[in-house]
Structure 1
Amino acid sequence: MTNTNFVGTWKLIYWESKTPKGNVSHPMGKNPIGYLTYTEYQHMSATIMRENRPNIDIPPEELIKARQVLLKPWLLINGWKYIKGIFRYLQASTNYISYSGKYEIKGNKVVHHVEVSLIPDWTGTDLERTFEFSSDSRLVLSTPTQDGNHHYLTWERI
């Protein structure tokens, strides 16, 4: 398998998680929004979010101040007005995944070598996905989790 089958941009159609007993859940809701891009030069980028995330309702410059409150807890004395924004920011980040880096094909697996990520623990790691092309325009990536579940993400070429 060459990377030419992967090259392009893909839109997330469906994401489900199955338990060993067959129970199904949807980690980002039933209608997640996401894009996955593979380039011919072995670069990739993935972005996924839950549909209808609530707005943070804080202008960007105020959000920077709220971040400073998080980094310097003693500022909380004057930072109570930022607590709502901090909570919404944390909530927004738990409903969003984004990472990018290089990729390579190994048999029936695509390995994402993560260089940058919203989730700091992923930076510098390899995320291995089993792949299957269900048609010319559909790609299914799957991966097991540590708790025994299995994630299936279905992408459509755009």
Structure 2
Amino acid sequence: MSSIIEGTYKLLSFSLEKENGTVEYPFGKDAIGYINYTGSGHFSVQYMPRHQQADNWKGVSYFGTYEYNREKDYIVHHVEGSLFSSEEGLDKIIHSRVRGKSLKLTCPTPTAGGKTEEAATIHFEKQEVLPPVTVF
């Protein structure tokens, strides 16, 4: 399985646009994270605020397999494991746009009542060379 989607992408921004047009940054404007798509059809995604607070942590982390449809610009994430067990077993259909090193994902975020009132827009940049690992 070889496609243009394969690779490691660094998070540039994560925003939520509300139905009324306002934009929020739930992980902050300086959020950090990565998404990785492998040639074997697996993916993993993690993002979080740059500065976590011990008593109020936030973040997204899940993994599984994926299908990429270049012609129709969407990715399906088949979630196998997640920080949120309610997501396990779900198929997340995400609008995607790949242009050069840029990956933009857009997906609706349903509320508790099942109504979609906001859309997440997530921008990533493909990493040609992975940044060095910092040892603490």
TM range, smaller chain? 0.7 to 0.9
More strand by share: 2
Spell out the pairing of 1:46-125 with structure 2 (5 A cutoff).
Answer: 46-54=45-53, 56=54, 88=55, 91-92=56-57, 95-106=58-69, 107-125=72-90
CA apart distance, 1:21: 2.1
Alignment partner, residue 83 of structure 1: none
- Give unpaired runs (5+ residues) of structure 2: 111-115, 128-136
The equivalent residue for 2:105 is: 141
RMSD: 1.4
Q: TM-score when scaled to structure 2?
A: 0.83
Structure 1 residues 139 and 3: alpha-carbon distance in aligned structure 2, compared to 1, 3 A threshold: farther
Alignment: residue pair count? 120
Q: Which has the larger share of helix?
A: 1
Aligned AA for 1:40? Answer: G
Distance 1:116 1:17 in 2: 23
Q: Deviation at 1:37?
A: 0.2
TM-score, normalised by the number of residues in structure 1: 0.72
- Higher radius of gyration, 1 or 2: 1
Q: 1:3 to 1:18 in 2, by over 3 A?
A: farther
Work out the percentage of aligned pairs sharing the same amino acid.
30
Q: Is the 8 A contact 1:3 1:105 kept in 2?
A: no
